[in-house]
Amino acid sequence: MASSNAFQLIEGTGGKEFIQTLLGKMTLAEKIGQLCQVNAGDNHIPDNLHNDLKEGLIGSVLNQVDVKLVNELQRIAVEESRLGIPLLIGRDVIHGFKTVLPIPVGQAATWNPDLVRKGAEIAAKEAASTGVNWTFAPMLDISRDPRWGRVAESLGEDPYLASELGEAMVNGFQGENLSDIGSIASCAKHFAGYGAAESGRDYATTNIPENELRNVYLKPFHSAVNAGVTAVMTSFSDVNGIPATANEFLLRQVLRDEWLFDGFVVSDWDSVKQLSTHGLTENDKESAFEALSAGVDMEMASYTFRHHLSSLVAEGRISEELIDQSVLNILGVKYALGLFESPYTDPDSLSSIANPYALGIARQSARESIVMLKNDNKALPLIESKLNSLAVIGPLADSAYEQLGTWIFDGDPDLSITALEAIKNRAGDEIQVNFHSGLETTRSRDTNSFDEVSRIAKDSDAVLLFLGEESILSGEAHCRADINLPGVQAQLVENVRKCGKPVIAVIMAGRPITLTNIIDQVDALLFAWHPGTMGGAAIAELLFGDESPSGKLPISFPRHVGQIPIYYNQKNTGKPPSDKAIVHIDDIDPLAPQTSLGMTAFHLDEGFKPLFPFGFGLSYTVFKYENIQCDRYEMKIGESITVSADLMNTGEFEAEEIAQLYVRDLVGNVTRPVRELKGFRRVHLTPGQKKTVSFEIHSDDLAFYDRNQKLIVEPGEFRVWIGGSSYAELETGFRVIN
């Protein structure tokens, strides 16, 4: 059930009349105060913060999670200020609070909206127990460049998948009613286009044609608004020459006028002040003018609104009515949260943190997020009866903190179950577990331990390698130009391979890693992202075959960094590549170089395909798709058509498959992608079992923005595929008619 936004929630409750009356009592300084969010003190309330709260000069405080201090902040605002307006308490609750879930791109690999919703609900309850009532999540930036550090915080490369999972997060955070205990306000970020930062460098410029912006980058935000998200955060980047924090096209035309959003807009940290750094404004006063005029309601961290809005009103450049609207937007959310009636948090609610249910959901999320990329010769699952010893090697095998990933300010490493711990528990006394970290960190270049690692590997029946990136290597401002395994991890793999034992790699990372240099050196490979608190337990379950891997990639894995951006739903081009037309750089005929190149859109040294495509993920069983059909060939605009296929488990393991539906619009007013995800289902099958998987496609699902930036549905021919990845081969077609 989708949440309602702030003003829908207070409709008919007297809320609108209440906040309008409250607004009428406010001075200009108090109004501006509601537009100001400030960082809290560490373990006390500074005198200046106390005074500002008492004077009604602050509307929100962030980064305080001591429930006693939060209650005291609320007490000062409610009981010592003239009007008693409660505070929004903001915190980055990105993928869990104390109980840490997989990083968001890992959660996206579950392709399980209900599980994602449950995870956000748990995070909200844990955060709310400390007084936090607002989180800066979900991040809905479409991410096609794994060099970008914040790909870890994203939901991947596809607008449909990101929309479905983003809506689930909003619903999980906000619940069915924002005023319910344990519900917190959600903030969709970063509006908009942040994931297209040039060169994958955080904060860098984004240049996105409006048609691409509307057809790809804005879609998840529109879904979040429709789901009732209460706040939207602006991007740090400029978008087509105008920083998002001063971008009237985004904040007023699209967000307010077209989508009818009536929550509030918050800047990112210091991004109003940074307008002058961008070169858009010459000073803080002009930055305040541009941001408020464009549609920013609340300024995070910096003080340009506080210092300059009153003078801008006095000069007639900003109307007080414009400020009034921003204040109403914020007060509406506070009212919907129930803060005017219940501003305080019961400290006893802390007992709900890291309870068995929360840990169970974290474990399931980790298990379903792990993607098996390779499994030659049935190296997995491990068969206990055939093992006397196991080598567990690698810097991430026993790292309680690193497996939590980025954005875990409140995460507790003491709750973590590491892979080594879980494997030892599972092995018991029957299997000897021989452990060596091999490297001090994932970035280490010290090979002095390699001889000892080789000895351990030779003395074991199989080798489990735990490799990847430390948590510090992904996240905000943690971008990489080279996305191979850092340090000498590739040499570690090569060293272990020489020992002649089966090698199973488990990689924990905050982004897709280029694996070309190791993929042939391992027998099996599980990609575990940063799996969170229960990551080790989930990994052990999969390694020993208690469950079959079911994760699917939410983002393509390039063969080489030079292929970036590489994503499944590209355009066809006038000279589309094909396997038949590929000529490798080493095979060019020196006597006739121009006639042997193929003349299509590919790289001479890496072709045109990723190493692993969007939607890919192996299982311990084998799934077979057949008998695709549409219930009819033609449908009119405004109608639906049902596409189905038979899915059979032809292997030996009980498992879940994620069946995926892709569509191609063959001819459009603007060129359309070669494939677009339009549906997915988790299907559980026992060996030999067959089920029919059906998807309903409404003509509205085929809509796109045309060359005039109008949303249209065009009649014409469509191709449709059902399968286990974006490379699905089973296809049929249908026609849309007027």
Amino acid (one-letter) located at 242: I
Inter-residue contact 136 to 233 (CB < 8 Å): yes
Please tell me which residue in 52, 158, 268, 398 is annotated as part of the active site: 268
Alpha-carbon span 260 to 225, nearest angstrom: 9
Strand ranges (DSSP E) for 651-715? 655-665, 676-685, 690-698, 704-705, 711-712
| pLDDT at position 644 over 50 | yes
What Å distances lie between residue 717 and 11, 642, 680, CA to CA? 44, 16, 22
* Coil, strand or helix at 391: strand
Instruction: Establish whether 262 is a catalytic residue.
Output: no
Residue with token string 């989930």: 538
| pLDDT at position 6 over 70 | no
Residues 371-381, mean pLDDT to the nearest whole number: 97
Nearest to 184 by CA among 229, 226, 234: 229
Q: Is the dihedral of CA 612, 614, 620, 624 positive or negative?
A: negative
What Å distances lie between residue 299 and 34, 39, 358, 464, 683, CA to CA? 10, 11, 34, 49, 45
Inter-residue contact 57 to 29 (CB < 8 Å): yes
Inter-residue contact 674 to 572 (CB < 8 Å): yes
Alpha-carbon span 615 to 551, nearest angstrom: 9
Alpha-carbon span 498 to 492, nearest angstrom: 10
Inter-residue contact 188 to 241 (CB < 8 Å): no
Alpha-carbon span 43 to 60, nearest angstrom: 17
Report how far Cα 306 is from the mean position of its chain's Cα atoms. Answer: 33
Tens of pLDDT, residues 431-470 = 999 999 999 999 999 999 999 999 999 999 999 999 999 9
505 preceded by a cis bond (ω within 30 of 0): no
Report how far Cα 352 is from the mean position of its chain's Cα atoms. Answer: 25
Alpha-carbon span 430 to 389, nearest angstrom: 8
Q: What is the pLDDT of residue 580?
A: 80
Residues of the chain above pLDDT 90, percent: 93
What are the structural domains of the chain? 6-349 (3.20.20.300), 390-470+485-541 (3.40.50.1700), 623-737 (2.60.40.10)
Amino acid (one-letter) located at 630: C
Inter-residue contact 654 to 686 (CB < 8 Å): yes
Residues 513-542, mean pLDDT to the nearest whole number: 98
Residues 408-423, mean pLDDT to the nearest whole number: 97
Alpha-carbon span 284 to 289, nearest angstrom: 9
| pLDDT at position 2 over 50 | no
Residue 242: how many CA atoms within 13 Å on its side-chain side? 13
At 146, give phi and psi (nearest 5°): -70, -5
Decide: residue 627, CB within 10 A, 0-12 exposed, 13-18 middle, 19+ buried. Answer: middle
Mean pLDDT of the chain: 96
Tens of pLDDT, residues 32-76 = 999 999 999 788 999 999 999 999 999 999 999 999 999 999 999
Say which residues have a Cβ less than 8 Å from residue 291's Cβ, sequence separation at least 6.
245, 246, 267, 272, 275, 299, 304, 305
Tens of pLDDT, residues 249-293 = 999 999 999 999 999 999 999 999 999 999 999 999 999 999 999
* Coil, strand or helix at 106: helix
Is the full-model pTM beyond 0.85? yes
At 677, give phi and psi (nearest 5°): -65, 130
Bridge partners of 300, per DSSP, are: 37
Nearest to 524 by CA among 537, 506, 536: 506
At 643, give phi and psi (nearest 5°): -110, 135
User: Helices 320-336 and 284-294: crossing angle, nearest 10°?
Assistant: 60
| pLDDT at position 350 over 70 | no
Tens of pLDDT, residues 568-613 = 999 999 999 988 878 888 888 887 766 667 788 999 899 999 999 9
Q: What is the pLDDT of residue 584?
A: 85
Alpha-carbon span 586 to 699, nearest angstrom: 47
Alpha-carbon span 395 to 191, nearest angstrom: 37
Q: What is the pLDDT of residue 431?
A: 97
Amino acid (one-letter) located at 222: H
What Å distances lie between residue 471 and 136, 273, 357, 401, 441, CA to CA? 20, 29, 26, 8, 11
| pLDDT at position 11 over 80 | no
For strands 640-649 and 623-630, give the pairing.
Answer: antiparallel
Nearest to 654 by CA among 616, 621, 618: 621
Say which residues have a Cβ less than 8 Å from residue 531's Cβ, sequence separation at least 6.
102, 106, 366, 369, 370, 403, 405, 508, 538, 539
Q: What is the pLDDT of residue 594?
A: 65
Residues 322-329, mean pLDDT to the nearest whole number: 98
Say which residues have a Cβ less than 8 Å from residue 663's Cβ, sequence separation at least 6.
675, 676, 678, 697, 701, 702, 718, 719, 720, 721
Q: What is the pLDDT of residue 626?
A: 98
> Cα Rg for the chain, rounded, in angstroms?
27
| pLDDT at position 490 over 70 | yes
For strands 731-737 and 711-712, give the pairing.
Answer: unpaired
Bridge partners of 736, per DSSP, are: 635, 716
To which H or E segment does residue 23 belong?
helix 15-25
Amino acid (one-letter) located at 263: G
Tens of pLDDT, residues 140-197 = 999 999 999 999 999 999 999 999 999 999 999 999 999 999 999 999 999 999 999 9
Q: What is the pLDDT of residue 3?
A: 45
Decide: residue 703, CB within 10 A, 0-12 exposed, 13-18 middle, 19+ buried. Answer: middle
Inter-residue contact 272 to 283 (CB < 8 Å): no
| The total number of residues written for the chain in this structure | 738
Residues of the chain above pLDDT 70, percent: 98
